[in-house]
Amino acid sequence: MSTTLSDPARAEAGAPMPSRRTEQIRRFSDPILFAALFVFGWQAFVWISGFHPVVLPPPARVFRILANQGDFLVENMLVTMRTIVWGFVIGGLLGFVAGVLINYFERFRRAVYPILVALYVIPKAVFIPLFILWWGVGPLYKILVTVLLAFFPVTENTITGLQGVDREMMELTQSLGGRRWFAFRKVALPFSLPFILAGLRIGLTEAFIGGVLSEILVPSTGIGSRIVEAAAFSNTEFIIASIMVVASFGIAAYFLFLWIEKRLTFWQ
């Protein structure tokens, strides 16, 4: 709930009412303050525990890596991002198409559903050796892992969304002689768009998992590979710095998507 100046509960409690401006500043200052607190706690823990820097490096060391080798890390992350974006786009598109076909074509649903459910319940990692065997450890294998992970949430949500389309609105369109394709574009698709976008948002986070995980399993290029290398040298601060880079890109992508989602479903 949003707080307004006339919020009676607050006024009665005698609590000071933050102005709109203060509220806006806090939206950004709160997470920053918490992050600062976290870093301070981390430093304090390093002092108190006396852990060796290999086990737990102090934040300063991690920041030094970010400062000195940030370019290198971002460069590698951008390689990984290519896998993530391709996997997300292909997986999302296939997931959407599969969801639409399953929802509208009974024979298609009957035919593919058992296989899809099987693929869904099997831990996706079991396919990795098979993919490597078939396509080697190049970008194709990584994209396929990512596609496989991004696919299902989109399919699932597309079906859920299309199932919830107002039946009477479809009847109305039909009663005026509207064709199925028209009803799909003008009614069913916008109706289920919030669900589809939510599915894509989950698919996006899955794509991040796929992109990094495929590199960690078979290191060659990308940030995941750099993490594995650093682990071999017990370069803990480098690993933590890499994780921070992945996290930054993940957060940026997530919020960018959320922003687009809000604008596309403005009526929600």
Q: Which of 18, 89, 135, 174 binds other proteins (CB under 8 A)?
A: 174
Q: Is 110 in the site for other proteins (CB under 8 A)?
A: no
Token readout for 47 is: 């002092």
| Residue whose CB is less far from other proteins, 47 or 267 | 267
Q: Which of 85, 119, 169, 244 binds other proteins (CB under 8 A)?
A: 169
> What CA–CA distance (Å, rounded) separates 178 from 186?
10
Q: What is the dihedral of CA 4, 10, 15, 17, to 10 degrees?
A: 10
DSSP string, 73-103: HHHHHHHHHHHHHHHHHHHHHHHHHHHHHHH
| Residue whose CB is less far from other proteins, 138 or 164 | 164
Give me the least distance between CB of 32 and other proteins, in Å please: 35
Q: Is 2 in the site for other proteins (CB under 8 A)?
A: no
Q: Which of 83, 173, 192, 242 binds other proteins (CB under 8 A)?
A: 173
Q: Is 105 in the site for other proteins (CB under 8 A)?
A: no
Binding-residue total with other proteins (CB under 8 A) = 20
> What CA–CA distance (Å, rounded) separates 90 from 143?
9
Q: Among the candidate windows 41-49, 171-179, 212-220, 245-253, which touches other proteins by CB under 8 A? A: 171-179
What mask, x for binding other proteins by CB under 8 A, covers residues 116 to 155? ----------------------------------------
> What CA–CA distance (Å, rounded) separates 181 from 158?
16
Q: Which residue has the tokens 């796929």?
A: 210
What mask, x for binding other proteins by CB under 8 A, covers residues 61 to 80? --------------------
Q: Which residues contact 62 (CB under 8 A, 6 or more apart)?
A: 237, 240, 241, 244
| Residue whose CB is less far from other proteins, 135 or 191 | 191
> What CA–CA distance (Å, rounded) separates 54 from 98?
47
Structural contact between residues 183 and 141, judged by C-beta atoms closer than 8 angstroms: no
Q: Is 109 in the site for other proteins (CB under 8 A)?
A: no
Give me the least distance between CB of 189 and other proteins, in Å please: 10
What mask, x for binding other proteins by CB under 8 A, covers residues 180 to 199? --x---xx--xx--------
Q: Is 176 in the site for other proteins (CB under 8 A)?
A: yes
Q: Which of 47, 175, 232, 263 binds other proteins (CB under 8 A)?
A: 175
Structural contact between residues 80 and 224, judged by C-beta atoms closer than 8 angstroms: yes
Q: Which residue has the tokens 């940026």?
A: 252
Residues 227-266, interacting with other proteins (CB under 8 A): 265-266
> How many other CB atoms are there within 10 angstroms of residue 51's CB atom?
13
> What CA–CA distance (Å, rounded) separates 210 from 117?
19
For other proteins, the binding residues (CB under 8 A) are: 166, 168-169, 171-179, 182, 186-187, 190-191, 265-267
